[in-house]
């Protein structure tokens, strides 16, 4: 959603999309001097600005969510399920996947 420059500048420093009198839409960084910059130069004649859209999420083809596997739970490299940790009495100790075995 575009905001008119006359109605105010962004409240926070950061990247924005800006629209200029020349009908260009450009990516610009709003700096602490309250100026829009684009690769070391100021973007002049800005008439509108808007926040950047949110980054893509996993279900929209974006980066995958970090899986939160705790270090104490080994994961089967074949199926990705948690593996059972065996120790012990039967002369066997190690990790076994109950889904693959």
Nearer to Zn ion, 57 or 69 (CB): 69
Candidates 6-14, 17-25, 51-59, 78-86; binding stretch for Zn ion (CB under 5 A) = 78-86
| Interface with Zn ion, residue 76, by CB under 5 A | yes
Minimum CB separation of residue 88 from Zn ion in Å reads: 21
Nearer to Zn ion, 51 or 80 (CB): 80
| Interface with Zn ion, residue 95, by CB under 5 A | no
Give 49-92 as a DSSP string: EEEPPPPPPGGGT-PPPPP---TTS-B-TTT-PBPEEE-STTS-
Nearer to Zn ion, 13 or 79 (CB): 79
Task: Select from 53, 44, 31, 52 the least CA-distant residue to 5.
Answer: 44
SS3 at position 25: strand
Q: Give CA–CA dist 77/57, Å, rounded.
A: 25
Nearer to Zn ion, 81 or 93 (CB): 81
| Interface with Zn ion, residue 79, by CB under 5 A | yes
């Amino acid at each position: 959603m575009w905001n008119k420059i006359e109605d105010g500048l962004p409240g926070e420093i950061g990247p924005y999309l800006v629209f200029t009198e020349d009908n260009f839409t450009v990516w610009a960084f709003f700096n602490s001097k309250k100026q829009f910059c684009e690769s070391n130069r100021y973007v002049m004649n800005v008439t509108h600005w808007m926040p950047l859209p949110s980054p893509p999420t996993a279900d929209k083809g974006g980066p995958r969510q970090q899986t939160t596997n705790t270090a104490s739970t080994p994961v089967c490299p074949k199926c990705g399920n948690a593996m059972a940790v065996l120790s012990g009495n039967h002369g066997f100790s190690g990790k076994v996947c109950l889904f693959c075995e």
